[in-house]
Structure 1
Amino acid sequence: MGKSNCGRRSFIKQSTVAFSGLALTPIGSPLDIFAQRENDAKPIRLGFVGIGGRGSYHLDVALGMEGVMVPAICEIKPERLYNAKRWIEEAGQPSPRLYDRGLTDFERLCEEETLDAVICSTSWEWHAPVCLAAMNNDKHAVSEVPIVLTLDEAWALVETSEKTGKWATLALEQAMLESSDGLALLNMVQKGLFGEILHTEGGYIHDLRFVKNNPAEEPWRLAYDVTHNGNLYPDHPMNRIMAYEGINRGDRLDHLVSMGSKGEMLHNYAVLNYGRDSEQAKIKFKQSDVNATLIRTVNGKLITLNYDTNTPHPRGLFRLQGTKGVYLRGSALEGPKIYLEGLSPKEHEWESAGKYLEEYQHPTLKNYKPAPRKRAIRGHGGSGSTTPLTWHLLVQALRENKMPYFDVYDSVTSSVIFPLSNLSVANKSKTVDVPDFTKGKWKSRPPLSIG
């Protein structure tokens, strides 16, 4: 295969998000750069940008946490803005300042407000601009996925973080913490139960044809199927895969190849539901129905990353293979399965992973005993009656003034698969290098520690 070098391109001349003067400073450990004295009593002030389904979920979580204040909110749709305002007032907090003067009014919020962090839940193209505006105005930033859409945005976030001492992260989007097996499996990996990890396979396998075509849901997703062709949603699987494979902590992503099938399902859906002569049926889509991206690490580990949101199917599989055994989870199975050489009762036969997941439950999750909330959390992803561990850890990091465990380097590494996979597909699946956003520090950074 030919090789296309996607090394760092200078964005300093003219950043696409119009932020200049990003200094190039040496990277250090997140704790060296950001950590200060812990202050458990410190009130946390948050601003929210984008208060749709996910934004309203995050807002409702925050409003149920002691010592968390929401003095400012930004939203382009009045009904969402005033609904959020009502929630804040009903929570007993002062009426928030409203920022509703168009798509870029988040810049004014970041300039005028005194906040610890900005929570961004906008459509994808605004994630990096919101994060950059926050960091350049002395605020941390937390984004929904993906945190970047381009390589230039990825470098901009890293270098702005190093320049300002503020971070941008996907700290609230960690499926590893939210899944039933995520932290237990990390504990098993770190204790060597699987030996050396060789291969991890996962993906975003989720039939979204109705969602993409429903104006009340997320029709903006459909626009990316028109303009892009690659792995468009890598972060959900990658946050746990990166943790299990020690990415940016003893290993790093080296290069990838990405390949897509033909793309017919969205057109077929439009014909079936709107008619062959409808405007929807005339849309030309670039996105493949199925994308498979292979990623190799510097130390020789392999990642298979699948993406399929256009075909009819249940949710997909997750597989972790090590030199001593393998773990498998998926909706088609009756619970997660495991095989450990020398430990499993029958040679080369699956056994239930339940007893292992219970025995190796991560201490952080085992010791997390949140008080029940007054009611279930509202918004997209809600219904839980306790504060999610992800939010607890975020507020803890803000109070201790340290970077969250899934830091700015991890966040951009995860999301940059979006543009790099598009580049590979466009060049007949040629190899594309993955930049080293840590600038060599991956070799000495300590293993992932949560809690």
Structure 2
Amino acid sequence: MSSLAITLPAINNDAFAAATNFNMSGYAAPKIDKVRVAVIGLGMRGPGAVDRLSYIAGAEIVALCDKHADRVAKAQTILTGKGLAEVKSYSGEDGWQQMLKELELDLVYICTPWAYHAPMAIAAMKAGAHAACEVPIGLTVKECWDVVKTSEETKKHCMMLENCCYDFFEMLTLNMVRQGLFGELVHAEGAYIHDLLSLNFSKKGYDNMWRLRENIKMNGNLYPTHGLGPIAQCLNVNRGDRMTHLVAMQSNDFMMAKRAQELAAEDAFFQEFVGKRYRGNMDTTLIKTEKGKTIMVQHDVTSPRPYSRIHLLSGTKGFAQKYPKEGIAFGHSFVKEEELKDLYEKYTPELIKYIGEKAKEVGGHGGMDFMMDWRLIDCLRNGLPLDHDVYDGASWSSIVPLSCESVAKNSKAVNIPDFTKGAWKTNKPHDLTLAGGGNTEIRPKVSKDQKNQLKVE
């Protein structure tokens, strides 16, 4: 099996740096009592977002948009099934652009394929709306810089919707880090190990097989932020420390090209995907920070392995790891179940105590999706800084192209741009409390009987 290493010219990843000096970290935008939301992209992630946002009384969904009109019509039934009115519909290739021209929006919620993320977020901010964008926020370093520049120029938030930052153990350990339980963090690990081989080759999965095509175009860590985001905030990346450089090493592809051949032998549809060079099974990216901390992030969505985001934190006084089983240690052994329970009770953040059970009830990856959405709307309504700003989205997302660059250069070190332009030295960690917020109400769930009654009427 031939090596994927090739020689590339040196790239100056700081060359795209914006000149804007406004700092979006800690920025509190003017309060919005009723947040007018438009959702773009109603395939894999969008319908769930429509459902979750419909429970938040402070959010008013005013428009739905997708390239396919039938998906928009189907998403409308999510609203009408709860007794809410249908909203403006937009479809077609340029429907989202028409929507931005016609409507006054407070928030554009983007759930489209990756290549649309940066262009849509930039257009939304230029149209006067805040942007909330599924991961990653950009596929190139230039796109990441363009998103940062636009956010600073328009003073509109651009939050990458990294839901894993709101999972329960991740929030718990973040609070433990803030309380000094682990001492000073030295090393952290995250991952996205998720067997998506069948889904990536499914005709009924991603529209026009777009995610499979991304696995052909790019050879690196294509999806770093689920693992990186939670540990980066524990390390105060962009808020007291920053990622400086990385090296990435990747295995060859041992499964995707073979699967394409197997499927093409039975179905001519897959002939297009035969003979392509697919990204390798496992990518391991190592990152170092300005303060000498190390990070490992892995990506494998092909191999038959149990799901894992690792979420490992190693400090001078303690250790935590989420997968394969949640555990905390202060020496050679994990603490026993009863002590672990006491730690949970003591260090569970205020946000989870306030909204956690309601989030589990509404759902979305066990509740973390809803907690993220509710927190976003609550911050916008109360004029609070967002938990994750545009610099987080840009720096975490930049690992995609930078890991590809390192792999292509036979695992040579690649510099990571400072998207804060030096502000990381004074930026403050985001607030884990509900100070100034927590007043956004949640609509009750509609029972089956109520849904049936709505259908009859």
Equivalence map 1:208-227=2 (5 Å): 208-218=196-206, 219-227=209-217
| In 2: Cα distance, 1:266 partner to 1:371 partner | 40
Q: 2:86 aligns with which of 76, 95, 98?
A: 95
Q: In the TM superposition, what is the alpha-carbon distance from 1:265 to its structure 2 partner?
A: 0.8
SS in 2 for 1:53: coil
Q: Which residue of 2 aligns with 1:20?
A: none
Distance 1:372 1:303 in 2: 30
* Per-residue deviation, 1:108: 1.6
1:160 aligns with 2:154: no
Counterparts of 1:48-447 in structure 2, within 5 Å, are 48-102=39-93, 104-170=94-160, 172-178=161-167, 180-218=168-206, 219-275=209-265, 279=271, 282-316=274-308, 317-331=310-324, 335-341=325-331, 348-352=332-336, 353-368=340-355, 381=364, 388-447=370-429
For the 8 Å contact 1:195–1:322, the answer to whether it is kept is: yes
Q: Distance in 2 between matches of 1:30 and 1:328?
A: 29
Question: Is contact 1:250–1:444 with CA below 8 Å preserved after alignment?
Answer: yes
- Asked if structure 1 preserves the Cα contact closer than 8 Å seen for 2:24 and 2:389, the reply is no
**Gapped regions of structure 2 (runs ≥ 5):** 1-7, 435-457
- Which residue identity is paired with 1:304? M
Q: Hey, what's the Cα distance between the residues in 1 that align with 2:130 and 2:379?
A: 11
- Displacement after TM superposition at 1:143 (Å): 0.6
RMSD: 2.5
User: Is contact 1:141-1:168 (8 Å) kept?
Assistant: yes
C-alpha contact 2:105 2:129 (8 A) present in aligned 1: yes
**1:15 alignment counterpart:** none
CA distance in structure 2 between the partners assigned to 1:363 and 1:97 by the alignment: 37
Q: Which residue of 1 aligns with 2:28?
A: 34
Q: Deviations over 1:409-441 (max 9, x none)?
A: 111111110011111111111111111111111
Query: How far did 1:271 drift?
Result: 4.1
Q: Is the 8 A contact 1:131 1:168 kept in 2?
A: yes
Q: Structure 1 277/51 Cα, relative in aligned 2: closer, same or farther at 3 Å?
A: closer
Is 1:6 aligned to residue 1 of structure 2?
Answer: no
Between the aligned partners of 1:436 and 1:182, the Cα distance in structure 2 is 25
Q: Is the 8 A contact 1:327 1:339 kept in 2?
A: yes
AA of the residue aligned to 1:449:
D
Partner amino acid, structure 1, of 2:294: L
Once the two structures are TM-superposed, the CA of residue 185 in structure 1 deviates from its matched residue by 0.3
- Structure 1 residue 64: deviation in Å? 1.7
SS at match of 2:78: helix
Q: In 1, Cα distance between the equivalents of 2:426 and 2:273?
A: 53
* Counterpart code for 1:57: G
Q: CA deviation at 1:276?
A: 8.6
Aligned mates of 1:433, 1:372 — CA distance in 2: 39
Amino acid at match of 1:27: F
CA distance in 1, matches of 2:177, 2:386: 21
Q: Structure 1 regions of 5+ residues with no counterpart?
A: 12-22, 342-347
- For the 8 Å contact 1:260–1:290, the answer to whether it is kept is yes
Local SS of the residue matching 1:122: coil
Contact 2:169/2:322 (<8 A) preserved: no
Matched-pair identity in %: 33
Look up the equivalent residue of 1:182 and give its one-letter code.
E
Is the Cα contact below 8 Å between 1:4 and 1:430 reproduced in 2? no
Q: Which amino acid is the alignment partner of residue 162 of structure 2?
A: E
Task: Tell me the CA shift for residue 351 of structure 1.
Answer: 2.7
Q: Which runs of 4+ in 1 moved over 6 A?
A: none
* 2:419 maps to amino acid: F
Q: Quick check: 2:22–2:153 contact (8 Å CA) kept in 1?
A: no
Helix, strand or coil: the match of 1:351? Answer: coil
Shift of 1:392: 1.3
Matches of 1:70 and 1:133 in 2, distance apart?
19
> Structure 1: how far apart are the matches of 2:366 and 2:173?
25
Q: How many equivalent pairs are there?
A: 418
**Residue identity matched to 1:8:** D
Q: Is the 8 A contact 1:336 1:354 kept in 2?
A: no
Which has more helix, going by share of residues?
2
State the match for 2:455 in structure 1.
none
Answer yes or no: is the 8 Å Cα contact 2:395–2:419 preserved in 1.
Answer: yes
